[in-house]
Structure 1
């Protein structure tokens, strides 16, 4: 299954990966965004890399699902044995015996090939490098199980039993310390990669995958298993073990090309993770590596060649390997009988009738008509793989192959060294098994050539569209082909006895070199009808030294951080912490250890202020502003919480006079400049007061100060809420003991606590103080006269509950109101809330406003929703029946309904009695001079309700009393009554309902002489 040395896979990915031929999933690891750091680190790569050399051995073998093949795999692949030097391949020299015993001959080898042991000749010292000379072994096997069996091909899982036999054989033969780097099986395909002790520490980012192209184009009886590794964190290597479609007809050839294209397009690898655990690349495809090795049974045949003729031609080079008594079709006894049937004349032996000339200079193999090399050269032009490469249909995008200097690898009789297929099918020998390789440089050259060809094609079409045709003999040739400058021609056979290493610039920018050293077939491996192939590559690469890279990484990061900090705008936020200011009950002492703005004790309606200073402590101008803060469920969105406001001592960068939004303004400070900000906290929303009292809300939040191109600054703010009598219910207020709500030590009054008062103590205190101050105010006015000024009640019928034009509206009043609220909460004397300079009239006006605010804040009201529903139902019923009650009867009926809630009843009577007495006293003080004609008497203005004069009494003093009580009733109706569904009513219905409330209050304010 796909795996990654440093990565992890989800359960779904692992399940899908078990399906033969499944598409590999694309890794979801994120790509690092620190490109500047990567570039700076890459620029110093020479300081943390060291050149290393490694030999890579690639092996491929189709074992044809035959038993015993696992006993040969270690000998030829690890030991380099089984090579017949006379027909060996590229890089194989003359044999040099390392032991005293001579190697077993072919006859002896074939005679024992079926005795359940290795078929490799005994005393074979090996002709190809192996053992500990190799740093990376990559072995690709095909048909380790019978892929022709539908049951085997359609298995949902892979049985590891067979693959374990090959693994055990290899691991027993490998020198100590070699470790398995990658293993991948797809039905009959098996890929094993081992690394030496010196190379293994430099292998990382291993990713294996598989692509099935067999049955239905998806199953794993054909396809490829692929592994990507990274050497030394610098060099990407890809190993592809493939088994393509079989068959010698045209359709089979096209299917092989299709298989190869599917493997190329569908192969995906996991992310590459560097030595520091950072994901660099996600989901690499084939073609993005530095070096790729594609090997396996590619099944390309010799196109258009009669099988008998090819066998006869090749047998000239294998007959000396056959034992004298062999009965094979190309044994000595059958050579003469079949020679006349050949359509391809065998090479001349150039024999001299006079005998050999011992002084003649030997011809090189490529010039000797009788040599194996000449025979191979005559057959390779018919090789389908090379034909498809030239035609640009498969393996044409940079893939190369070493010189083929060995016999075709397929098909042989099992147990024979050089006997080609003697079965009834007598298949044509072919180079089905191949080892190809591609460098990044070759891939880029191919892509460049394709682009140039496409540009030439487009230009040619443009010329033709303009009527310029260069097809005639006499016309000028616009584009000519010069093989010296336009690219290399394909050489039928390119022998390079002294190959030079190919220099390759890797994807990471390192300079590597690769050299093909060996490419050969192991003819003397007899356990399969395919001969195994291997190739040895020498790779020189730059490997990262992790310790040096980590040190340079830290050094680069520090330098970049220093440069970035110097170039980034930087501000410093300083919170001014007051030493403490006195309040009526507490000392406001903010926590100096709190890393934010601490407003200390916070009470209802009393503003608190804190200052912060912002200084540009960087080297460049800094532009900043408050941005929307992160909010949790239930919090108000926006830049600031609703109980906080902000003012700046500097104009914003682009002030918008038409906009009231000053919260998102930007401010710019030059280096060393400062900006002062005042934060003002005030709790005046009744809903918030209720939630704070009940503990469902807190005065805690975070402001976000965003610096353009800099880091965000998070400024915590908090305050400690002091419990208030406002925004509570009468049922809770009557249980608060003497001493006020603060005496409960910020605990909520329990509903099961005993009743302390018949009505809220706050109502007793406020109504009593208002009555007393009304008398004092009227008496003071009579004594002083105030010159020519008119008394406020003489021109305002709602006074003192309706603000007079002369009523102060400054910060002093705000502070006084807050002090009065705190007096009620602490059950202190009202004298503590007023200074000596505050007159009785001003005190009366403040307490009158306090009473209205207190009544409006009550959760249940003086007349609850249930009580009002009963009252309204009775009124509506009488209106419908046109029943009229006298004023006394209606008052008694109202009190009877209110009696179901005694505490509300007492509160109602307490307030209406106070209003009646205050109204009568003010009305008496407003009596006009009896000598003044009635028509000349000026009635006070009616700010709460519009009243036509003709509806009032013609007696001036009675009319004044009517105006005052009508205004009081209108004003207190909103504060005392609670009604349901008012927001769903139309304006006319709302007006009718309010008129009914006013009428009830007027019943208790009027006296008999008011009408």
Structure 2
């Protein structure tokens, strides 16, 4: 199947001969290895010789031609030695039977049997003497038929007849290497048993240039093979446009250029699996053979005169019969425009004496070679080559020493077209060849001429009148003659072997041995041609190459490794903040970073050491992990922080991809810290939708990546759960439910989360103790915290909580909540009640913030918010007690939330009473002399406060407590594009609800 057809969904590519699709071609790698392997090529190659036989025949869609193809192409029969061609000396066989003469042969000519004369032994090499057979047939079907020309598929029936005939005639063991058909064009390539194993990378394709420029009634079928893994061979069987006028000539040239530019082969893959370049086109091979019905004619020649002249040479084709000189002289006088050597200097006699010296054919005016030599200057192909219009880029043809191959009467040996058209005989069928060296010579010459032309045009543009002033300008460019690259050669001279340096640097040699016409084949109006080439090439011995390849790869790998940066990664033992169990677990663990058991807000650290163990500096960074849904971008998971013991390189790509460079033997210590605080992550870990597992990629610039597994074992937490779940956790805490989830149908154990009971009770108790201790110890000249901070103990005091000073203690408190153990175990022995109180207050707020549903859920808040808004609009006022009852009535629809709300507000009211009483000044002191505590959570205008100092202090405490806990206890839907003013109003209403339950009597309404 053509390469342009395979796998394409485009309509054009399904039409035989369509434009090729090169979009899928890939780019080769392994160039360095290939170069190293090439330097040792002498160790794994061996010279080999092979004969290549190229055959071409236009069978004119005639039935029975398949019966002749094996006789002339495989067996070398059907050549008349007197006009056979280059290299033909005579029959090789010693068969004494006389060969069937032309009259007998023509008399028995039939479509049902071979037309080749009987007792005709091969005059050119064939049978097992040839290693590669490449046969190109044209018009195996009637291409003038619209049915055949527009057929969108290829019917193999006709082609199979020729394949079967060849297969029967070939010696045993020959195998089909490639076949390609394009409507009437058929290319078949066979290889001998010794050559076939060396044929690789076979690629076939086709190019249609017929109707509309791409249909397959004209065009080419092409095959590329690689011989011995070293030598690229290309075989092109083409049929160009017909016709004898100028337009037809130009169309032939266009057809040839289209075939050259549009032919594409599959990439070559060597035995090691390395792909060599993208798909190749024509011109990249080592040897190419272009053959077929090229349809070039004799330009401007009188057909009748040419037929009459050539018929003289075909009157009697027996080798021992000479041509009548009188007939030749008469014919020569009638074709006066044909240049021939003068006949007056020579006499041709039938009865030669023994002393007569035979004349060379090129000097004998009566010889067929003299006639051919006089006609060839009028051959269009040679004219177009000389003019640089077609086949001028390195293509060569062997000496033509045979009569024109077209056009003969069917069933006749040498009768030229006797039909009404009486076409002029022409060498329509040709076999050309080109070497890589010839193509490179043409390209170099064309480049030189183009540069000369451009330089000449530049000088003309500057003004020719000044050209004489610049003696360095010596360009002489003639656009009518420059660019010609056709090298004339002696048509009768013997081609010399040509040495060619192949694509991969191997030295090959090619020699044309035969170029012949099979005149005695009668079944078509074209005579078949063949050419035999002797090719000497360096063939790869696969076993030796595999061994050398392995050695080279190992040497390159070792050299590359020595020159590449290399680091060693060591995971250090666990640090001092681990439990004894964790320490024992990680003492011998160097393969991964394992944090062991991890609970909420706990910080755990691990260290790794990165050492440069190579010979060159190593630059490393942690690469971004693969992007996955639900995972943030960056080199590290969100629960992990990383600290290096050195500054990153300047000009590093970014904050998350900092680069560090280590000199040889240098080390870098890296600390990994895990701390789970993100509420969303805690929720996912509790629900097992996330895990503390990841793989970090340590990327070494120009080196190999290191993969570092990192993990921890999450311990269930009461944080980031809903109240409905918490009230179902039995005594003993959530840790007892490790790897389990509190079931919704599990019975309710508590009216409110046990964690709230424990925290509120402990906070109230510690508040009393703190106030009592302060009174007992008496801090002269020092204000109590509640005297300068109206939000104490719930507003953080930066003096105590700066730089996570109580990070470990807070984590211990959270652990005590999760395990339902005493808070005493969370604190050091010397921790004061005040510090314990402040830490527990922070723990309570963090617990409330983490609740999934909040104390006041979204639906309840919407009812409260709408009710408050309605009263504000109607300017309706309720007493504090009435408002409290209204709020509690709405909260009662969610009993557990209601109890939790009352529990918290009751605690806050009691603490507010105690701290306000502790801060109350002497009643006789005027307010102007009283220093009110600061209000860190909310700005309060002094003129709105009570003039009674004690009442004013209570109002400040209520306002701060309400503000702090409104944020932690209420949940409201996030409304997109909500105005800032509306957000402030919503926040004020939440604070107002909290103040209802913190104030005593009606004092809350005075704010």
Say whether the fold is shared (TM-score over 0.5): yes
The 2-side partners of 1:962 and 1:571 are apart by: 65
Gapped regions of structure 2 (runs ≥ 5)? none
Give the alignment of 1:613-632 within 5 angstroms: 613-632=609-628
Residue 428 of structure 1, CA deviation = 1.4
2:309 is matched with 313
Residue from 976, 982, 990 that aligns with 2:983: 990
1:902 is matched with 895
1:407 is matched with 403
Retained in 1: the 8 A contact 2:92–2:122?
no
Retained in 2: the 8 A contact 1:313–1:344?
no
Question: Secondary structure of 2:316's partner?
Answer: helix
1:855 is matched with 848
Residue 739 of structure 1, CA deviation = 0.7
Residue 1006 of structure 1, CA deviation = 2.0
Residue from 793, 800, 809 that aligns with 2:802: 809
Matched, 1:698 2:691: yes
1:275 is matched with 271
The 2-side partners of 1:647 and 1:201 are apart by: 62
Gapped regions of structure 1 (runs ≥ 5)? 324-329
Matched, 1:161 2:157: yes
Matched, 1:260 2:273: no
Matched, 1:100 2:96: yes
Residue 997 of structure 1, CA deviation = 2.1
1:428 is matched with 424
1:774 is matched with 767
Please, which moves more after superposition, 736-745 or 414-423? 414-423
Retained in 1: the 8 A contact 2:224–2:265?
yes
Retained in 1: the 8 A contact 2:459–2:467?
no
Cα deviation per residue 1:799-854 (whole Å; 9 max; x = unaligned)? Answer: 11112354243555100000001110110111111121111111111111111111
1:40 is matched with 36
1:496 is matched with 493
Cα deviation per residue 1:230-273 (whole Å; 9 max; x = unaligned)? Answer: 11111111111111111222222111111111111111111111
Q: 1:469 to 1:534 in 2, by over 3 A?
A: farther
Q: 1:946 to 1:123 in 2, by over 3 A?
A: same
The 1-side partners of 2:648 and 2:598 are apart by: 30
Retained in 2: the 8 A contact 1:204–1:231?
yes
TM-score (normalised: structure 1): 0.93
Question: Secondary structure of 2:916's partner?
Answer: helix
Question: Secondary structure of 1:321's partner?
Answer: coil
Retained in 1: the 8 A contact 2:785–2:792?
yes
The 1-side partners of 2:87 and 2:443 are apart by: 31
Cα deviation per residue 1:465-499 (whole Å; 9 max; x = unaligned)? Answer: 45547999xx99956899xx9999854743224x4
Aligned length: 994
Retained in 2: the 8 A contact 1:580–1:590?
no
Retained in 1: the 8 A contact 2:400–2:491?
no
TM-score (normalised: structure 2): 0.93
Matched, 1:449 2:445: yes
The 2-side partners of 1:466 and 1:858 are apart by: 87
Question: Secondary structure of 1:140's partner?
Answer: strand
Please, which moves more after superposition, 769-778 or 634-643? 634-643
Matched, 1:460 2:456: yes
1:326 is matched with none
Retained in 2: the 8 A contact 1:214–1:221?
yes
The 2-side partners of 1:527 and 1:92 are apart by: 22
Please, which moves more after superposition, 529-538 or 104-113? 104-113
Give the alignment of 1:709-858 within 5 angstroms: 709-809=702-802, 812-858=805-851
2:117 is matched with 121
Residue from 11, 18, 31 that aligns with 1:22: 18
Matched, 1:523 2:519: yes
Question: Secondary structure of 2:657's partner?
Answer: coil
Residue from 3, 6, 10 that aligns with 2:7: 10
Residue 127 of structure 1, CA deviation = 0.6
Question: Secondary structure of 1:125's partner?
Answer: coil
Residue 292 of structure 1, CA deviation = 0.7
Residue 590 of structure 1, CA deviation = 5.3
Q: CA RMSD in A?
A: 3.1
The 1-side partners of 2:920 and 2:473 are apart by: 123
Give the alignment of 1:534-613 within 5 angstroms: 534-578=530-574, 589=585, 595-613=591-609
Residue 456 of structure 1, CA deviation = 2.6
Q: 1:410 to 1:838 in 2, by over 3 A?
A: same
Q: 1:644 to 1:251 in 2, by over 3 A?
A: same
Residue 202 of structure 1, CA deviation = 0.8
Residue from 870, 882, 887 that aligns with 2:880: 887
Cα deviation per residue 1:926-982 (whole Å; 9 max; x = unaligned)? Answer: 233456555433322222223334433333333322322222122211111122246
2:27 is matched with 31
2:285 is matched with 289
Give the alignment of 1:163-242 within 5 angstroms: 163-242=159-238
Question: Secondary structure of 1:57's partner?
Answer: strand
Question: Secondary structure of 2:77's partner?
Answer: coil
Retained in 2: the 8 A contact 1:607–1:682?
yes
Cα deviation per residue 1:403-422 (whole Å; 9 max; x = unaligned)? Answer: 01111111112222122222
Please, which moves more after superposition, 488-497 or 183-192? 488-497
2:664 is matched with 671
Q: 1:787 to 1:53 in 2, by over 3 A?
A: same
